Amino acid sequence: MKYILITLLVFFSNSLFAQLSVGQLKTENLIDPVGIDLKEPRFNWQLISEKRNVLQTAYEIKVFNNKKEIWTSGKKNSDQSIWVKYKGAPLKSNQRYHWQVRVWDNHGNISAWSKLAFFHTAFLNKNDWKARWIEPGFQEEKERPSPIFRKEFNTGKKIKKATAFISAHGLYEAYLNGNKIGDAYFTPGWTSYNKRLQYQVYDVTSLIKSGQNVIGAILGNGWYRGELVWKNNRDIYGSDIAFIFQLEIEYKNGKKEKIISDNTWKSSIGEIQFSEFYHGEIIDARKEKAGWLNPNYDDKNWMGVKEVKHNMDVLLATYNEPIKKQELIKPIKIIKSPNNETILDFGQNLVGWVMVKASGQSGDKIILTHSEVLDKNGNFYRDNIRYARQQNTYILKGGETEVFEPHFTWQGFRYIRVDEFPGEIKKENFTAVALHSDIRPAGEFLTSDSLINQLQSNIRWGQKGNFLDVPLDCPQRDERLGWTGDAQAFSRTAMFNYDVHNFFAKWLRDLEADQQPSGSVPYVIPQVMRKKDAGSAGWADAATIVPWNLFLAYGDTLVLTQQYKSMKKWVDFMLSKSNNYLWNTGFHFGDWQSFRVDDDEHGRSAFTDKYFISQCFMAYSTQLLVNAAGVLGNTQDVKQYSHLLQQIKEAFLNEYITPNGATISNTQTSYVLALQFDMLPEALRQTAADRLVKNIRAYNNHLTTGFLGTPYLCHVLTRFGYPEVAFELLAQKTYPSWLYPITMGATTMWERWNGIKPDSTFVSPRANSFNHYAYGAIGDWMYRAVAGIDQEADTPAYKRSIIKPYINSNFKHVSASLQTVYGKLASSWKIANGRLSLDVVIPANTSAYVYIPTESKGDVTADGTLISDSKDLKVAGEEEGFIIVNVGSGNYHFAVNLH
């Protein structure tokens, strides 16, 4: 009898656990991060259950150090499963902590304890640093070849753990016993170096050995002192190049040892003779110091190093994902151009470099020059690259087959021109390596229309190629800067395609650091331009727009807390530049790259008054500040800035709107911004929307918006009853439109709507990037309206979603998904035989309102049952053209006849 009871108990327990489990454990939104310097790191997890309507009712967390429990939350009656703070004993530097969680749900289930996750702390106190900054001990040459450093050391036996802490002025690659430490590139990344310099933490236990070891490092100029902001502008942060390294070894007998950078190291020059982001790299393999990364190498002819005092207070651990190698792409063809150039086509505009394999004699040379496009005759074209050479040169040492790739540069390209190659040029000897920040894919979007699918591909490739530690504007010409306008316009689309929480959170700290005392925000972050290059409407508003979008997407209130002062300073700056609440002073870029007559033989320019735009963004940023103040409980600021917002809108109406609702500019962007930011009273809004559509019709159903109007254009049309016009714009194939570049062969987004004209000639090369993600902001609307994945504004992180697809006959099917912090959220619809099917996935611990496109609820079925008879959902109401259904977590299949 006892055996039967035990068996039943085990069966019952296993059944409970089988219905509920926990996965996707993250610390600070990273899986098992190494190098966390927060004293109260935060935990995220996801509930996994096949049941419907699953909500967490309680959780319990345990944290361990060296298998000893150091904190338990106890059972907490809460549905919170994201951003749960550690509240245990003070954490220690350079320690690995493991944690696990279990949860209870609303069906009486208890999960088993999750698998162990971990986080490894960085230095929690600045005096943990014992290492010294070191610089090369020799006089640098004019071309600044990359210095190399080395240090040999001896260890005892039975090593338990070894951890390396590394940073540089410039860029570094570090090695231990010939093995590269980590798989990241362009470390320590790009920040406002004089205020915030990141260091990386690596577990190098597997690389170290008992006995003789050697540390090696190569440095590059990078963003710190390399050429930036166009021609001959170097040493923005300093002219020095320096390295700091601390290796902490723990032996199994409990003893500890530190190996640090100091004056006992040696320095020299290796094979990298020249390295710049804009211009490329020159590697002379004949000058390689063979064996220098191995122990027992004879470095007696090397120079020493200089110990120097650099600011240690600016050092901080790294939270954003580093840049890593991603896709490998082989050329699709070899072209012999009319100019007798040998050109390789990789079929995709990408960012990274080309790895080349060759054999030849000592002194043979390979020159690879990179470009995005060919001219109309098929010749190599690089005028739009401007001053940047984008060229890698490799000089062979001779003999065996050699493989070359750069270290401290990248190129933006689809094509390479190959010069002076020894022997026959074969496709198999060239491989393009795509590089970008190692952000995790979050969303997928697919339709029955191949051109729209290519548009989505172009948006994603544009994002990948320009997300290299900061959100760049373009990756190829002599610019490659963190333009704030591009970043804010694209930020919400970026959050659909990839998990960019840490990426943007880090960038925003630099925005705050580089914000001027007046509150003005520079055009680019990190700030590397002139002091006066700041304060443009729609650009500087990244200070408010990006934090708010991050909060909406991920529910992280810490981002708002950290950025709140910066948000407020920006709004106060605009107010300080206003006259009676009208901001009509200063320089503004306006609706950058909007339609102009000089772009086409016919039509009218679509110029929107720049102060009209500045007033709209002043209102929007003020509204977002009010929103943030509300989330953070700052009631006084809510009251103060709500009153300010009212005055800003009144000034706008008096200055820019006629009594019958026309804008003074009468452009698409003017109506879009006025409607998107609720600048107009209710009575004038529909009239303004009608005027917007009239304007679109006047341009033959084409858009004319630029960087600031385009992100909101289709949203406004959909909101005010014109979704079919939005779909017409999306499907438009002639200039200006989203699909026109695709008809001209684009594989990324363009800076200009007509970068290549219909006759295959180019517009001015002054500003004509073929990898510029700003216009990819249409992706936000594609996810939210075409597929229908959206959220309630007062429930961030998709805690309560809205599934509201707008059905259009241009598509037979549309599907999209998004990996939210709670799990996978998905919407998929198709039309067949006059019937619409809608499949929805709602993650556990969340709920959703599903909008079924019909006016007859008696015709809607859920999983084959009339919705009125379903036990798992509830009809919540009706909206024009939709039946609204309230559902909990789970998978649902809806169907309805189309009328």
Q: Which residues are catalytic?
A: 479, 751
Exposed e or buried b per residue across 270-297, where buried means at least 16 C-beta atoms within 10 angstroms of its C-beta: bbbbbbbbbbbbbbbbeeebeebbeeeb
Exposed e or buried b per residue across 79-109, where buried means at least 16 C-beta atoms within 10 angstroms of its C-beta: bebbbbebebeebeebebbbbbbbbbbeeeb
- Is 179 buried (19+), middle (13-18) or exposed (0-12) by CB count in 10 A? middle
H or E stretch covering 272: strand 272-276
Who's near 46: CB < 8 A, 6+ residues apart?
22, 23, 24, 81, 821, 822, 823, 843, 844, 845
Which amino acid is residue 645, in one-letter code? L
Q: How many Å apart are CA 312 and CA 318, to the nearest integer? A: 15
Q: Is the bond leading into 853 cis (omega within 30 degrees of zero)?
A: no
Tokens of 707: 């960087």
Q: How many Å apart are CA 565 and CA 519, to the nearest integer? A: 10
Contact between residue 522 and residue 529 where contact means Cβ atoms under 8 Å apart? yes
Contact between residue 43 and residue 101 where contact means Cβ atoms under 8 Å apart? yes
Whole-Å CA distances, 142 to 42, 128, 146, 219? 48, 37, 12, 16
Q: How many Å apart are CA 499 and CA 497, to the nearest integer? A: 7
- DSSP designation for 110: B
Q: How many Å apart are CA 279 and CA 285, to the nearest integer? A: 19
Whole-Å CA distances, 323 to 385, 486, 821? 23, 20, 23
In DSSP terms, 820 is beta-bridged to 823
Q: How many Å apart are CA 749 and CA 872, to the nearest integer? A: 43
* Residue 143: count of CB within 10 angstroms of its CB: 10
H helix count then E strand count, the chain: 15, 47
Tokens of 319: 């939270």
Q: How many Å apart are CA 456 and CA 777, to the nearest integer? A: 10
Contact between residue 34 and residue 201 where contact means Cβ atoms under 8 Å apart? yes
Residue 571: which of 486, 640, 525, 671 has the closest Cα? 640
3-state DSSP assignment of residue 99: strand
Pairing label, strands 266-269, 147-155: antiparallel
Which amino acid is residue 372, in one-letter code? E
In DSSP terms, 834 is beta-bridged to none
Residue 786: which of 839, 736, 715 has the closest Cα? 715
Tokens of 872: 């798992």
Residue 353: which of 434, 277, 440 has the closest Cα? 434
3-state DSSP assignment of residue 179: strand
Contact between residue 716 and residue 692 where contact means Cβ atoms under 8 Å apart? yes
In DSSP terms, 418 is beta-bridged to 368
Q: How many Å apart are CA 790 and CA 805, to the nearest integer? A: 9
Q: How many Å apart are CA 370 and CA 704, to the nearest integer? A: 32
